[in-house]
A and B are shown apart, each in its own frame.
Chain A
């Protein structure tokens, strides 16, 4: 099992690393960057929702915090977006602590609802607070070439996104192999039983959610710099939160490679469809979302372990340290 996973990861990330050396097409590189970024962001979601079992539908809150932090720091205050990234991390840790607190008061669907409410509050605040965030118009992020200002070429962005993806993949693998990860699995499976075994469930839940929040915010900051524009109705949207979940569920919740597999499938399908149908009626792009909705329903019911589960079954290997 570990061998299969390692080989899969090597293949995926290896290909991603080699691709820019071979292909120079901007559209292709853009897709690759987005696949890696969304994969990483979904992996961040996986930390809280897959590994710790705290299913959130409001992760866009953290993404938006990171995006706005980077955008404001670089566009408004003329500093390096890396500082904005750090600010985003700090703010998202605070937000994560709030959500973590909620996870200790609420379970299941009610926790999910509260995360939606939280992200919506941030959306409204960001879209209305003109003096701070330029309100509903959003913030364009200036492009200034250089590493310190994160003004990079497509090729460079591929490697930044790859580094992010590898880092987050590493975090997931750590969670699968470490004492912390095992105990989190206990929390996820049965909190009362975990408590009886000496696991501080409340503390661990807050830890997982806060870590997930910080990771998501970092992804948001980098994304904002790459895309160059922060629109509150997008960065705090429920659709975005659902997307992180969708990628992970299709790929395999609670598995390290799952979010990335899901991202490959979903993101490439989406960029392809968008490019193909951009000339046709604008409503057409909604079609892939209908498909995603249907796929989500089907996967969650018939293929609960996602693509990774499918691969495992194909090899008929029993799962180990089942997450």
Chain B
């Protein structure tokens, strides 16, 4: 479904992403982990069209989407969320999601109805008329996901949607991601919250200094020496997860 071929992105003298190749099958949920500055968000930016890679290609469902504008990529079925959430602050929660729904639907009324359904799925229905900027961070993150969902993506890129959530919100978000995955959406999830990641993902990819250093099931990755040295610090016990 999504294929990255040797993607490299440089900023001046710094190579943020170095020859990353990755293949994600339809319906997979792949976790992406790595220390800060490893290039995870940069990778998302390249895939979603915000940056043009210096080398390599990105293919969505076989089609080359390298260098296309972000909105074109969204129309082709790939949507991303932002690590620092970007709600449409002055608009209501419902309007935020409606705008997402308008990507696929031309009719405003139908889009609004669709948005209401998405709000229901994400547990945001009670806040429909609230102004987005009045929401606390936990709900903002959920709104970010809901809005992206409304675009009916085939591939969804989630960038640290769990960060900053309290345990209850975290559990709810994990549930939401699981439900989205169950509906057949292909997911790429960047996360630092290891417990959640290990629970959700059956395949984890590790980025370090822009390079892909591990790719496999959670247990294998957690035991990988290089990953432990670079990121985990000590062997992550799955029993704790």
Contacts and interface: CB of A to CB of B under 8 A. Distances in A.
B36 interface: no
Contacts, number: 93
B89 interface: yes
A284 to B, nearest CB: 40
Contacts of A189: 87-91
A190 interface: yes
Interface stretch (B14-22, B75-83, B208-216): B75-83
Interface stretch (A29-37, A86-94, A164-172, A196-204): A196-204
B102 interface: yes
Contacts of B72: 200
Interface string B131-151: 100000000000000011001
A199 B151 CA distance: 11
Contacts of B99: 182-183, 185-186, 194, 197, 199
Nearest to B81: A196
Contacts of B122: none
A182 to B, nearest CB: 5
Contacts of B107: 179
B139 to A, nearest CB: 16
B190 interface: no
29 contacts: A182-B99, A182-B102, A185-B91, A186-B88, A189-B87, A190-B89, A192-B50, A193-B82, A193-B86, A193-B87, A194-B71, A195-B69, A195-B71, A196-B48, A196-B74, A196-B80, A196-B81, A196-B82, A196-B148, A197-B151, A198-B71, A200-B72, A201-B71, A319-B131, A320-B92, A320-B129, A321-B92, A321-B95, A322-B90
A319 B95 CA distance: 11
Q: Tell me the interface secondary structure of chain A in the complex.
A: helix
A197 B72 CA distance: 9
B100 interface: yes
A197 B144 CA distance: 11
A321 B112 CA distance: 11
A178 interface: yes
Contacts of A321: 91-92, 95
Interface residues of A, number: 25
B99 to A, nearest CB: 5
A146 interface: no
A182 B131 contact: no
A305 to B, nearest CB: 10
Contacts of A200: 69, 71-72
A197 B147 CA distance: 8
Contacts of A193: 82, 86-88, 147
B26 interface: no
Contacts of A177: 108
B207 interface: no
